[in-house]
Amino acid sequence: MTKMQKAIIYKGPGTFAYEERPIPEIRHCDDIRIKIYGCAICGTDVNIFATPQKHPCKEDIIFGHEFCGEVEQVGSAVTNLKIGDKVIIDPHGPCGYCDNCLAGLPEACENVFIGADSQFEGQALSMGVFADGGLTRYAVLPAKFAYKVGPDTKPELMGLAEPLAGCGYAIEKLNVHVGDTACVLGAGPIGLMFTALLKASGCRKIIVSDPVEYRRNKALEIGATKVVNPDTEDVGKVVSEETEGLGVDHCIEAVGPLIQDCIDYVRPRGKVLQYGHDELARPQIEVGTLLKKEVELHSGFLGKYYMRKVGQIIESGILPLEKILTHVIPASRYQEALDLAASYQCGKIFVSMDL
Ligand SMILES: [Zn+2]
Ligand SMILES: [Zn+2]
């Protein structure tokens, strides 16, 4: 008889359900099965459950992509992992065969987001968004998408791996130097991760803007040198005052539609990073300002090359991740976790597995 496990299933816009699903079996010699510790809530999850929906998701899959756990079973060809190893997961593992993968652009893998059963053996698709994910007891995936971390690593911090990999990979494009100045628009978990990365990179000024007081206070805790409420203060004026009228070296967009503000706040030849992920956003851009300032525009959203390093960052304790992770809520109270995430009165939430 097939053994079953309880799982959180995405049931279409705004809804999920607890349902029984078969415990998955290893299918390929290079697969592993992991026992899941839990799964963090992503801004993407909030967007998927938002009305109107701001990110697509396949119905009837096991939800949740920022999961982690320990190896419970290994396929016959797995040599890099053994039973009991703690692992962080790349839930969007690239196929390795498509033109973009072969061109060294696994972030743009053509087969990760197709949302159908893979034509490539061993490919994970985007787990927890377009294929079965991590809000359950066990998951099977190719060993190459799992990265070992030390035995003392805290599960709730391991849950930060996937978003932190995206942020770490993206910020490398800015080439931040000691003594630089920066501005971060948005102090949700992603804005907070960028704040921590900028601090660790040696920025002397980090101005963080967010309308929510809880998040501004978090930003200060994590290393912001100045916080601004965009609802009551003129962010551009503050940036100007803080930088002797020049503008910041780097401005990171961690909201969605604010790229023009970033263009306004950077110095000539400053660097802008679009990272806020709102698929409905259609911001207008002033072409004149963009070209006269010779702004360098960057963007990013996944960090496949960065997963190994993220494991090392989490283990090392060099970033104040314990301050970014603000809540642990069991999966049996998932609605509560989603409501909290949507209220903005939190940093990162880890949903621990108790199903
Ligand atoms: Zn995510
Ligand atoms: Zn590919």
Percent of the chain with pLDDT over 90: 81
The answer to whether 259 touches 278, Cβ cutoff 8 Å, is no
How far is ligand 2, taken at its centre, from the CA of residue 181, in Å?
36
Q: What ligand is nearest to the CA atom of residue 113?
A: 2
Which pLDDT does position 116 carry in this prediction?
A: 46
60 versus 121: the higher-pLDDT residue is 60
The predicted structure's pLDDT at residue 123: 53
- Segment 318-345 shows an average pLDDT of 96
Instruction: Name the band, by pLDDT with cuts 50, 70 and 90, for residue 195.
Output: very high
CA of 287 to the centre of ligand 1 (A): 32
What pLDDT does residue 301 have? 87
Considering only the top CATH level, what class is 4-163+303-352?
alpha beta
Using pLDDT thresholds of 50, 70 and 90, give the confidence band for residue 186: very high
Amino acid at 288: G
Q: Which ligand is nearest to the CA of 94?
A: 2
CA of 98 to the centre of ligand 1 (A): 23
Residue 114 pLDDT greater than 60, yes or no: no
- pLDDT confidence of residue 54: 82
* pLDDT band with cut points at 50, 70 and 90 for residue 159: very high
Give the residue with greater pLDDT, 240 vs 107.
Answer: 240
Closest CA to 81 of 153, 146, 155: 146
Q: What is the pLDDT of residue 124?
A: 52
Q: Where are the domains of the chain?
A: 4-163+303-352, 174-299
The mean pLDDT value of the chain amounts to 93
Sort 262 into a burial class: Cβ within 10 Å, 0-12 / 13-18 / 19+: buried
Mean pLDDT of 285-302: 95
| pTM: predicted TM-score of the whole model, two decimal places | 0.93
The CA 173 to ligand 2 mean position distance, Å, reads 22
- 306-342: string of b/e by CB count within 10 Å (b at 16+)? bbebbbebbeeeebbbeebbbbbbebeebeebbebbe
C-alpha 42 – ligand 1 centre gap (Å): 4
Ligand nearest to the CA of 47: 1
Q: From ligand 2's centre to the CA of 109, what distance in Å?
A: 4
Report CA(275)–ligand 2 centroid distance (Å). Answer: 22
Tell me: pLDDT of 344 over 50.
Answer: yes
**Look-up: residue for tokens 């016959």?**
76
Looking at per-residue confidence, does 163 or 107 come out higher?
163
174-299: CATH topology is Rossmann fold (3.40.50)
- What lies within 8 Å, CB to CB, of 49 at 6+ separation is 13, 14, 16, 338, 342
H helices present in the chain, as ranges: 43-49, 99-102, 155-158, 161-172, 189-200, 213-222, 235-242, 259-265, 287-292, 307-316, 321-324, 334-343
Ligand 2 centroid–CA 160 distance in Å is 24
Closest listed ligand to the CA of 46 = 1
Above 70 in pLDDT, residue 197?
yes
Going from the Cα of 310 to the center of ligand 2, the distance in angstroms, rounded, reads 22
Instruction: Please name which of 138, 110, 102 lies closest in space to residue 22, comparing C-alpha atoms.
Output: 138
Query: Ligand 1 centroid to 91 CA: how many Å?
Result: 9
Residue 64 CA to ligand 1 centre (angstroms): 8
Q: What pLDDT score was predicted for residue 115? A: 44
* Cα 122 to middle of ligand 2, angstroms: 12
Q: Name the one residue in this structure whose structure tokens are 């190459």.
A: 144
- Alpha-carbon distance of 7 to 242, in angstroms, equals 49
| pLDDT tens string 220-269 | 999 999 999 999 999 999 999 999 999 999 999 999 999 999 999 999 99
CB neighbourhood size of 20 (10 A): 11
Mean pLDDT of 63-86: 97
pLDDT band at 343 (very low <50, low <70, confident <90, very high): very high
Calculate how far, in angstroms, residue 32's C-alpha sits from the geometric centre of ligand 2: 21
Q: What is the pLDDT of residues 116-131, one digit of tens each?
A: 454 555 455 789 988 8
| 93 alpha carbon – ligand 2 mean position (Å) | 9
Q: What ligand is nearest to the CA atom of residue 119?
A: 2
